[in-house]
Structure 1
Amino acid sequence: MNFKISLAKKTLVFYSIIGLVISCASIYNLIWGVILHETPTYRIGVFSLFGFIVFPVLLISTYLKNKCVIDTDSVHIGKIKYRFSDYDFFITTYQLSFKDRPLFSIFKKDYFDFVIKETGTNNIVFQKDLDIFRKDIELIKRALPPGKIKYR
């Protein structure tokens, strides 16, 4: 079994929508504003001229950094491999007060963390906020072996 998911799926969806607008506007500004001089160039900067290159590169690097692959014997996050025999996996649930909630999920009460601890020493080697949908959290729970996932 090989299960792949991005641990920052909501962020990627949100920024890909914004990135489409920024990319179109930066291409327009570069071609018609700077090269052809048909419209005024309001601002010359990285996102106004080369946003169609910079923003997709940022999206791809965010995806690669948060890519999680669950195999039959290990979990790969980014370039690091965590074996089931050496690490314990936790999905922790916590609640935030209204003033501490992020702007884009202000009405959401429950937040989740994905925590990986060493088996012998209980040192936390990885902790990440799960910025994914609730359905994806259930898929992660089903993809990990039953004895290796713990809840808090």
Structure 2
Amino acid sequence: MKTIPRRVVTGISNGKSIIEQDNIVTKVSEHFPGLIISDIWSTDCSPAKFEEKIIENTAFPNTPLNGSYFRYVQIPPDKDLGIVTPVNQPHPLMHQTETLDYIMILSGEIYLIVDEGETLLQAGDIVIQRGTNHAWSNRSDLPCIQLAVLLDAS
């Protein structure tokens, strides 16, 4: 699995469909060692317009008002990030966004942690994240790769 994906964007020129862009994603960040976030596409209205809305690449997403955010994320093992969660304490990366997220695990495995539980996710599993407090915990020895579409929600 690639760490940074290739993005192909179609368009229309003179009434004909074309390949407008074909390149490796350039909006990439590494906010924590090994946590690589590639922002694929974002919009700022619904229904969406065909142009991309450029937004800041952050560790915790800032989905545009009435918009969407498409991310490809590589999450390293917790031990590589130096994350140790004390017993009966919340995971240090717990966070909450005002978004409806469609997340698919492409490779590896990861725990989805919520306030009242957790579950192990593996390649092919899909999460519908509905604005809840959560964290991702990779307790394996290999990176986990997720594909996520985040929609502004209330």
Structure 1 length-normalised TM: 0.24
Give 1 or 2 for the bigger CA radius of gyration. Answer: 1
**Structure holding more helix per residue:** 1
Structure 2 length-normalised TM: 0.24
**Structure holding more strand per residue:** 2
